[in-house]
Amino acid sequence: MNSQILILILVLIADVGSALGVVYTRHQSRLLAVELGALEAFQDEELAEWSRLQIEQGWLADASQIEKTARGELQMTQPDETLILVVRP
């Protein structure tokens, strides 16, 4: 009789414990899901930024831009044939 009550109490405690455990893990998973969502959004934002930077670099490093700046602003010219000396290999 006594042992039966003891088992019942133990099972009850275990039951309540596992219920609390479920509540806790559920809460944890929500928190983690929120965090994951935020991180994913952050990743998306960073990737978007990366793609924008790549495009910007593409525009800025465009050969026609560079040529315009080199020839126009910086007054650079291609050296004349006679000005080139070749180091004997």
Partner 1 sequence: MIPSSRLYALLLIFMLCSFALIARAVNLQVMETDFLQGQGKARYLREVTIASTRGVISDRNGEPLAVSTPVDSIWVHPGQLLEYPENIKPLATLLKANAEEIERKLTQRSAKEFVWLRRRLNPDVADKIRALKIPGVNLQKEYRRFYPAGEVTSHVIGFTNIDDVGQEGLELAYDSWLAGSPGSKRVIKDRKGQTVEEVELIKESVPGSDLRLTLDKRLQYLAYRELKSTVLQHGARSGSVVVLDVDTGEVLAMVNQPSYNPNDPGHDTDGMRNRAVTDVIEPGSVMKPIAIASVLEHGIADPDTPVETSPGYTVISGHTIRDHNNYGLLDVTGVLTKSSNVGVTQLALQLEPVEMWDTYSRFGFGEATGTGFPGESAGVLRNHRRWRRLEQATISYGYGVSATPLQLAQAYAAIANGGKLRQPAFIQGSNNPPISAIDPDIANAVAKMLETVPTRVGTGSRARVANYRIAGKTGTSHKASASGYAAARYVSSFAGFGPASNPRLVCIVVINDPTGDEYYGGLVAAPLFSEVMTGAMRILNIPPDDYQNMLVDAGTDEVVAED
Instruction: Decide whether 58 or 72 has the Cβ nearer to partner 1.
Output: 58
Instruction: Decide whether 24 or 50 has the Cβ nearer to partner 1.
Output: 50
| CA atoms of 61 and 65, how far apart (whole Å) | 7
Shortest Å distance, C-beta 69 to partner 1: 14
Shortest Å distance, C-beta 52 to partner 1: 5
User: 84 to each of 20, 28, 37, 71, how far by Cα in Å?
Assistant: 84, 72, 61, 19
Shortest Å distance, C-beta 12 to partner 1: 32
